[in-house]
Amino acid sequence: MFTLAIKSFRNRKFTTTLTIVAISLSVTLLLGVERIRKEARTSFTNTISGTDLIVGARSGPVQLLLYSVFHIGNATNNISWESYQEIARNPSINWTIPISLGDSHQGYRVMGTNSDYFKFLRFAGRRRLEMANGRIFEGVFDAVLGAEVAEALGYRIDDSIIIAHGAGKVSFIKHDDKPFKVVGILKKTGTPVDQTVHVRLEGIEAIHIDWKNGAPIPGQSISSDRVLTMDLSPKTVTAFLIGLKSRIKAFGVQRYVNKYPREPLLAILPGVALQELWDLIGVAEKALLAVSAFVVVVGLSGMLIALMTSLGERRREMAILRSVGARPLHVFSLILGESAMLTMAGVIAGVAMLYGLLFSCRSLILSKFGFFIAIRGLSTYELILTGVVCLAGFLIGIIPGYQIYRYSLADGMTIRI
Amino acid sequence: MTMSDNLNTAPAIDISTLRFSWGNGQNPILVIENLQVKCGERIFVEGPSGSGKSTLLSLIAGIVTPQQGTIKVYGKHIDSLDGASRDRFRADHIGFIYQMFNLIPYLSVVENVTLPCRFSKRRRDRAVGRASGFETEAMRLLNKLGMDEPDVVKRPVTELSVGQQQRVAAARALIGAPEILIADEPTSSLDAGHRKAFIQLLFQECDREATTLIFVSHDTTLANLFNRTIRLADINKI
Judged by CB atoms closer than 8 Å, whether chains meet at B91 and A321 is answered as no
Kind of pairing between the strands at B180-184 and B13-20: unpaired
User: Which residues, at least 6 apart from A321, have a Cβ–Cβ distance to it below 8 Å?
Assistant: A330, A331, A334, A408, B104, B115
What is the mean pLDDT of the segment spanning B146-158?
Answer: 81
The C-alpha atoms of residue B115 and residue A326 are separated, in whole angstroms, by: 9
ipTM, 2 dp: 0.83
Q: Contact at 8 Å (CB) between A404 and A331?
A: yes
Domain coordinates of chain B in residue numbers? 40-54+82-235
Q: How far is A317 from chain B (nearest CA, A)?
A: 6
Q: Do B98 and A414 touch (CB under 8 A)?
A: no
Q: What is the mean pLDDT of chain A?
A: 86
Mention every residue, 6+ apart, whose C-beta is less than 8 A from residue A32.
Answer: A354, A357, A358
Show which of residues 298-337 on chain A sit within 8 Å of chain B, judged by CB atoms. 316-317, 320-328, 330
Cα Rg of chain A (Å, integer): 31
How confident is the model at residue A49, as a pLDDT? 85
- Give kind and range of the element (H or E) at residue B33: strand B30-37
Distance (Å, whole) CA B49 – CA B125: 38
B-chain CB neighbours of A325 within 8 Å are 87-88, 90-92, 116, 118-120, 123
CA-based nearest residue to A393, from A351, A345, A352, A354 = A345
Picking from B96, B116, B123, the nearest residue to A413 by CB comes out as B96
State the average pLDDT over residues B198-212. Answer: 88
pLDDT higher than threshold 50 for residue A167: yes
The residue that leads in pLDDT, B40 or A372, is B40
**The pLDDT of residue A392 is above 60:** yes
pLDDT in tens, B61-97: 888 888 888 999 988 888 888 888 888 898 899 998 8
Binned at pLDDT 50, 70 and 90, residue A405 comes out as confident
Q: Are A321 and A331 in contact (CB under 8 A)?
A: yes
Sequence-ordered list of residues with C-beta below 8 angstroms from that of A13, at least 6 positions apart, any chain: none
Beta bridge partners of A215: A212
- Rounded distance between C-alpha atoms, residue B130 and residue B139, angstroms: 12
Q: Read off the pLDDT of residues A53-103 as tens digits, 9 standing for 90 and up.
A: 999 999 999 999 999 998 888 888 999 999 999 999 999 999 999 999 988
pLDDT at A373 over 70: yes
**pLDDT (0 to 100) of residue B1:** 46
Topology given in CATH for the domain delimited by B40-54+82-235: Rossmann fold (3.40.50)
Residue A417 confidence (pLDDT): 41
Query: Does the structure show a pLDDT above 70 at A34?
Result: yes
Of all residues in chain A, the one with the smallest CA distance to B108 is: A7
Per CB-CB distance under 8 Å, the chain A contacts of B99 are 415
Q: Residue A1's closest chain B neighbor by CA?
A: B118
Domain boundary assignment for chain A:
2-44+282-411, 53-268
Q: What is the mean pLDDT of residues B36-58?
A: 85
Confidence of residue A171 (pLDDT cuts 50, 70, 90): low
pLDDT at A414: 64
Q: Which residues of B54-79 are buried (b: 16+ CB within 10 A; e: fewer)?
A: bbbbbbbbbbbbbeebebbbbebebb
Q: What is the DSSP string of A155-207?
A: --TT-EE--EESSSSS-S-B-TTS-EEEEEEEPP-SSGGGGEEEEEHHHHHHH
Q: Please report, rounded to a whole number, the percentage of residues in chain A having pLDDT higher than 90.
A: 43
Rounded mean pLDDT, A209-225: 67
Across the interface, which of A4, A409, A417 has its CB nearest the CB of B101?
A: A417
Please check the confidence at residue B5 and state whether its pLDDT lies above 80.
Answer: no
A172-187: pLDDT as tens digits: 677 777 788 999 999 9
Alpha carbons A36 and A41: distance in angstroms, whole number: 8
The mean per-residue pLDDT over the stretch B127-142 comes to 81
Q: What letter would DSSP give residue A217?
A: P
Query: Is A129's pLDDT higher than 70?
Result: yes
> Would you call A414 an interface residue with chain B, using a CB distance cutoff of 8 Å?
yes
pLDDT digits (tens, 9 = 90+) for B100-113: 778 888 888 988 99
**CB pairs < 8 Å spanning A and B:** 69
